Amino acid sequence: MKVGFVNIFGKPNAGKSTLLNALMEEKLAIVSPKVQTTRHRIKGILTENEYQIVFSDTPGIIEPKYKLHEKMMDAVKNSLEDADVALLIVDVNEDLQECDAIFSALKLKVPAIVVINKIDRASQEKIKEAVDFFSGKSYCKRSVTISATSGINKKKFINAVLEFLPEGEPFFDGEDISDLQTRFFVAELVREKIFELFGDEIPYQATVVVNEFKEKNTLTKIAADIIVQRESQKAIILGEGGKMIKRLGTESRKSIENFLQQKIFLELFVKVRDKWRDNDTWLKEYGYH
Ligand code: GDP
Ligand code: MG
């Protein structure tokens, strides 16, 4: 059996979360057209008779402007070094030179597969240009072209990954799709709704913590805190007469029920924590280790 660890890396919006979701055929990482929605390392475990591949999604590359961002950068570096192979994913329509500059700067010790994504949105010439461009780079041990959204070349892609994995015993039970707690995914689903429902500022100022997760016979009770930095942000999330929080609650509930495949009862609370993003203790409490 081929067994190993694979890390997915690339600029924001390259399609890392989408690729992971497509591979796992489950909604594991949240997907959003806005950048920086993936703050944590998310692992998906793909187990078949012939292989077990453990995937990590990494946050996009961002400036260490806040402490939070420094931690995100640490997560990127850590995750890239402890894998059998790194997937450097690029949007085929992006500035390839710029992607190359970032990939080169990583000075990877692990072999890398350059994954050229979104080929459903590019001409054959453009795709060939990207393949030719990356195949000359020293970090690029292999390149594959895919479309994460439409699943084009998924098999080819998996076979390319398997070339780099050692033989071994599986690390995880076949039943596990992820070693992360369901709570975490639930919090991510609420955060995804915050991205959808609120303007530019709010999503980056808010985090979600699931405090209660009680499974009863037919219903799971979930309570979550939405942490913001200012009273004014709390007011926006609540909305006039609680209109927005109600909507957020309804939409989050549907999304969570869809993920868990069971009925839930969801309670959301909004809490103000001044400058949580610059506070080490809170960052730890909210799961940014
Ligand atoms: P991440 O920031 O790298 O995790 O990127 P996401 O997975 O969140 O994807 C960013 C955006 O690109 C989303 O709107 C996706 O739907 C879109 N996207 C990802 N892969 C593809 C693809 O293969 N084709 C097309 N057309 N869009 C894609
Ligand atoms: Mg992502």
Residue percentage of the chain with pLDDT more than 70: 77
Q: Helices 96-105 & 124-135, crossing angle to 10 degrees?
A: 30
Give strand pairing partners of 86: 7, 112
Taking only the tens place, the pLDDT of each residue in 34-44 is 555 555 566 67
Q: Which atom of ligand 1 is nearest to the CA of 20?
A: 7
Check if 2-162 and 182-285 are the same fold. no
Class of domain 2-162: alpha beta
Q: DSSP secondary-structure letter at 167?
A: B
Nearest CA to 267 out of 199, 204, 209 is that of 209
Q: How far does the centroid of ligand 2 lie from the alpha carbon of residue 250, in Å?
A: 24
Q: Which atom of ligand 1 is nearest to the CA of 37?
A: 2
Rounded to the nearest 10 degrees, how much is the dihedral formed by the CA atoms of 153, 146, 160, 79? Answer: -140
Average pLDDT (72-77) is 61
Highest-confidence segment of 14-28, 129-143, 191-205: 129-143
Average pLDDT (98-122) is 90
The C-alpha atoms of residue 257 and residue 155 are separated, in whole angstroms, by 30
The ligand with the least distance to the CA atom of 35 is 1
The ligand with the least distance to the CA atom of 12 is 1
Highest-confidence segment of 20-29, 149-158, 175-184: 149-158
242 dihedral zone (left: phi>0; alpha: psi -120 to 50; beta): left
pLDDT of residue 33 exceeding 80: no
Task: Report residue 228: phi and psi, to 5°.
Answer: -125, 175
Give strand pairing partners of 66: none
CA atoms within 13 A on the CB side of 67: 12
SS3 state at 245:
helix
The C-alpha atoms of residue 168 and residue 51 are separated, in whole angstroms, by 9
Q: Which structure tokens are listed for 70?
A: 């420094």
Q: DSSP secondary-structure letter at 278?
A: G
Task: Report residue 115: phi and psi, to 5°.
Answer: -105, 110
Q: How far does the centroid of ligand 2 lie from the alpha carbon of residue 196, in Å?
A: 15
The C-alpha atoms of residue 62 and residue 13 are separated, in whole angstroms, by 12
CB atoms near residue 210 (< 10 Å): 21
Query: Residue 143's pLDDT band (boundaries 50, 70, 90)?
Result: very high
CATH of domain 182-285: 3.30.300.20
Tokens 């609540």 correspond to 238
The ligand with the least distance to the CA atom of 42 is 2
Global pTM? 0.69
Domain regions of the chain by residue span: 2-162, 182-285
Pocket of ligand 1, beta carbon within 6 A: 10, 12-18, 31-33, 38, 60, 117-118, 120-121, 147-149
